[in-house]
Amino acid sequence: MSVRLGLNDFIACCGSTKFAEQMVADGPFATYDEAVVAARNIWFNKVDVHGWLEAFAAHPQIGQNPSSVAHKSSTSAQLHLQFSFFLSLWSKGEQSAALATATDSTLQELYEWNSQYKQKFGFVFLICASGRSTPEILTELKRRFSNRPIVELEIASQEQIKITELRLHKLFTNTSIQDQKS
Amino acid sequence: MSVRLGLNDFIACCGSTKFAEQMVADGPFATYDEAVVAARNIWFNKVDVHGWLEAFAAHPQIGQNPSSVAHKSSTSAQLHLQFSFFLSLWSKGEQSAALATATDSTLQELYEWNSQYKQKFGFVFLICASGRSTPEILTELKRRFSNRPIVELEIASQEQIKITELRLHKLFTNTSIQDQKS
């Protein structure tokens, strides 16, 4: 039995059009493991730097919406809501550690460092937040900020594939449940 | 005595706006060596991946002009003219080895591999051609074609800085001659 996944399913896992098209071309995949092998090969060998940047740009950033968070006076509720959105794109249930440890001051600091990060590197800070607390995410952001752009590009690509794998896993799990029900 | 170089001088060395602006901000430079130290620091630490792609896109490609070279039936004269243009952006006198060894068949092959390269990596094939024959350039292009995109991006950035250094050297030499004359 193969899991039937379409272009939009793969786009939801990784926002590179080339990635999603190639996953459709290489599929269908009988198991999650088969899909991951294909995904890693496509992401690292076939998607070029423009495709990587396209995938990175598909991620929301804390403070991304200028109408709601344009400056330091953002309300606590706005920051928490945006942080929840930032995390919610990742696999359900993986965001509890970060949400439980998010305070106004750490979120405000995260927002400010995110802006500096994007200004230096040209894309949003990407991290697979699974199991990480908000202070841990902030520490990692500060540490990575001193990297050279080419180094950070490669780290971001590694984080992106981890996120993609979590999302693929969720897709395969959901599809399996639906298959069992039908 | 410092050499007076402006934004357009640095843009001619490396087509990244950020690079040129930062060189102006860091200058003036008393010697070529000082300029190279600054250039390397800016290129690898301050210019992000968008700036790298901007610089790569400033290079002509063999077969770039669709009105003159759109398919395999390009005339020998057209290919030679374009190859000369491709090389002529680099330091004067550095192109003799490549030009002397360019035949119709190697240029045609170079054109075809260039197209495939751009399709795979999303930017033109960059090589500091100084002292290299056309068959050597072609061999290097074929060898590098099998690289992963992130590896090739880093190699292209290394070739770009070599080209930039040659151009800076030319600028400093010309400016020195003018200074001596004045």
Closest CA to B80 of B56, B59, B63: B63
Instruction: Give me the percent of chain B exceeding a pLDDT of 70.
Output: 75
- Average pLDDT of A161-168? 92
pLDDT at B67: 44
User: What residue in A sits closest to B41 (Cα-Cα)?
Assistant: A148
pLDDT at A96: 65
Does A47 contact B at CB distance below 8 Å? yes
Beta bridge partners of B3: B29
pLDDT band at B91 (very low <50, low <70, confident <90, very high): very low
Determine whether the interchain pair B45/A154 forms a contact, defined as Cβ–Cβ distance below 8 Å: no
- Average pLDDT of B5-33? 95
pLDDT at B87: 62
Beta bridge partners of B29: B3
Cα–Cα distance, B146 to B143 (Å, whole number): 6
Cα–Cα distance, B90 to B167 (Å, whole number): 7
**Higher-confidence position of B170 and B95:** B170
Determine whether the interchain pair A44/B122 forms a contact, defined as Cβ–Cβ distance below 8 Å: no
Cα–Cα distance, B142 to B114 (Å, whole number): 9
**Higher-confidence position of A101 and A176:** A101
Cα–Cα distance, B95 to B99 (Å, whole number): 6
Chain B residue numbers with beta carbons less than 8 Å from the beta carbon of A148 are: 44-45
A64-73, A84-93, A167-176, B128-137: the lowest-pLDDT one: A64-73
Q: State how far residue A43 is from chain B, nearest Cα, in angstroms.
A: 10
Cα–Cα distance, B161 to B131 (Å, whole number): 16
Determine whether the interchain pair B49/A45 forms a contact, defined as Cβ–Cβ distance below 8 Å: no
> What ipTM was reported for this prediction?
0.83
DSSP letter assigned to residue B45: I
DSSP letter assigned to residue B171: H
pLDDT at B160: 94
- Average pLDDT of A109-115? 89
pLDDT at A94: 56
pLDDT at B173: 86
Q: Which of residues 118-137 of A touch B (CB under 8 A)?
A: 120-123
Chain A residue numbers with beta carbons less than 8 Å from the beta carbon of B161 are: none
pLDDT band at B101 (very low <50, low <70, confident <90, very high): confident
Determine whether the interchain pair A149/B49 forms a contact, defined as Cβ–Cβ distance below 8 Å: yes
- Average pLDDT of B25-52? 97
A66-80, A140-154, B51-65, B140-154: the lowest-pLDDT one: A66-80
Reply yes or no on whether the pLDDT at B95 is more than 90: no
Chain A residue numbers with beta carbons less than 8 Å from the beta carbon of B148 are: 44-45
Nearest to A122 among B44, B49, B154 (CB): B49
Q: State how far residue B103 is from chain A, nearest Cα, in angstroms.
A: 31
Reply yes or no on whether the pLDDT at B157 is more than 90: yes
Instruction: Give me the percent of chain A exceeding a pLDDT of 90.
Output: 49
Closest CA to B60 of B37, B85, B35, B81: B85
User: What residue in A sits closest to B50 (Cα-Cα)?
Assistant: A122
pLDDT at B4: 78
The encoded tokens of residue A114 equal 């995110």
pLDDT at B50: 98
- Average pLDDT of B13-42? 96
pLDDT at A134: 85
pLDDT at B88: 52
pLDDT band at A87 (very low <50, low <70, confident <90, very high): low
pLDDT at B179: 52
Cα–Cα distance, A35 to A20 (Å, whole number): 12
pLDDT in tens, B59-74: 877 644 434 444 445 5
- Average pLDDT of B110-130? 90
Does A154 contact B at CB distance below 8 Å? yes
Nearest to A49 among B44, B45, B49 (CB): B49
- The dihedral of CA B3, B59, B74, B149: what is its sign? positive
- Any catalytic annotation for residue A59? yes
Question: Interior CA angle at B57 toward B55 and B62, to 5°?
Answer: 130
Does B48 contact A at CB distance below 8 Å? yes
Does B28 contact A at CB distance below 8 Å? no
SS3 B178: helix
SS3 B163: helix
pLDDT in tens, A32-64: 999 999 999 999 999 999 999 999 998 877 644
